[in-house]
Structure 1
């Protein structure tokens, strides 16, 4: 790995803190809200401004890196060679607009397709969960304890709402087999819960910028993150993601592969 992960962590932490101040300042003014693919797929002026700011910081610090971001101001990558930053400037935009809470900012860093580092900020709680293969997981730089390998029945599972409603791939059955289902509306918030041992897994349809940061963090904690068929996540395309403790992950895949 060519990146100094501790230096990277310090840089990303500073960028996220600056972004948090901007977001909270912007929340005092009326938001400019538009729709993208459908009425529930929102984007705001804050998403776009945050994307631009973070891209500028990354380009200054790592001029040879590629950037994949949700709001279209970054590269459209078609390969994972070299250093790639995945940026979600506001994850959980519906929550941001409707609740003014329960949303995150995420940055995931990969080198030649392998995870290097992830950071997720709960903006309203001023909490940053960060980590990676060579940086032990932490919240606001307090190291997190090792995660127990819980079976499905022993913990909560985060799920995709529509998939749960229609029992697609047995999601409702999986939820019933767990201690309970949770739906936060933000992939970042779900991965923060996993990292802090508040739930054992998460299942949802995610874009690369939705999963990159969280996968870098929790895979370093021993969480298994795959497609429903057990294959690796494709960071160039959207797809269904199953993230869970090893025991629960195997149980979930068994359910999902049942006709």
Structure 2
């Protein structure tokens, strides 16, 4: 249980919303300019000047606001955490960089706060549509100021499932069986927009290989809304390493685990 009071949590939530408003303005402005794009591991793993600038901006805000906390972030400006003791912030400055560069849509900025490994708050900014999905177990989940209700607890066969395209293509983790069992399947190519579709009830579930900054915010929001979040074997996620993440309605989650294990 978090040591923070509900008032403190609401204050943090409103503070981060102000940061994200600034980040959105900076990101939209940068999209009108020529992006500085580089490869990380290969030509499908991209980083831009916006990823780096956003991370520096957010990390600087966090360090001034919560000096004792640690930061786990994508582009190397955070800390090298060995545990989840105390307050830990997760930062994904541009989630879905390929989409950001090539499509100019279906990307997000994500921030999350955990305390002693327990979820406190999460924020997913849909930059293009100017909507922040935010909240946590103490205050509920909101799309901007609209409080969200839990999605309908449908089975896998009753909804659309979102999957990692590369792993679906090669039949990994039973994704081919999962796609066939669902009413339909889609590939979005970014964690934040995929989590948004699940918490909004537009998709029955989502699974992909993710790093902690990819799933930290989405896990807070999904669990607060009563959705199931685990790795593909049904175990709790390791917050400091990569996981094959599965978020889904409770019924679809059981259906997917059964297919994966069969």
Cα deviation code 1:19-65 (max 9, x no counterpart) = 00001111111111001111100000000000000001111111111
2:137 is aligned with 1:137: no
Question: 2:44 touches 2:98 (CA, 8 Å); kept in 1?
Answer: yes
Alignment deviations for residues 135-171 of structure 1 (CA, whole Å, 9 cap, x no partner)? 2111011011222111101111110001111221221
- Residue 108 of structure 1 is matched in structure 2 by 112
What whole-Å deviation, never above 9, does each CA across 1:170-207 have from its counterpart, x for those lacking one?
21111111111111111000111111111121000000
**3-state SS of paired residue (1:74):** coil
Length-normalised TM-score, structure 1:
0.98
In the alignment, the residues of structure 2 paired with residue 93 and residue 131 of structure 1 have an alpha-carbon distance, to the nearest angstrom, of 24
- CA distance in structure 2 between the aligned counterparts of 1:255 and 1:118, rounded to whole angstroms: 30
Aligned to 2:61: 57
Aligned residues: 258
- Correspondence for 1:2: 3
Residue 222 (structure 1) aligned to one of 203, 223, 226: 226
How large is the Cα RMSD of the aligned pairs? 0.9
Q: State the partner residue of 1:66.
A: 70
Q: TM-score, normalised by structure 2?
A: 0.96
Runs of 4+ deviating beyond 6 Å: none
Residue by residue over 1:106-152, the C-alpha shift from the partner in whole angstroms, topping out at 9 and shown as x without a partner, is 00110001100101001010011112111211101101122211110
Name whichever of 131-140 and 98-107 sits farther off.
131-140
Instruction: Indicate conservation of the 8 Å contact 1:132/1:218, yes or no.
Output: no
Q: Does the 8 A contact of 1:32 with 1:45 survive in 2?
A: yes
1:22 to 11, 15, 26: 26
Pair 1:199-2:176 in alignment? no
1:48 aligns to 2:49 (yes or no) = no
Q: Which structure 2 segments of 5+ residues have no match? A: none
User: What stretches of structure 1 of length at least 5 have no aligned partner?
Assistant: none
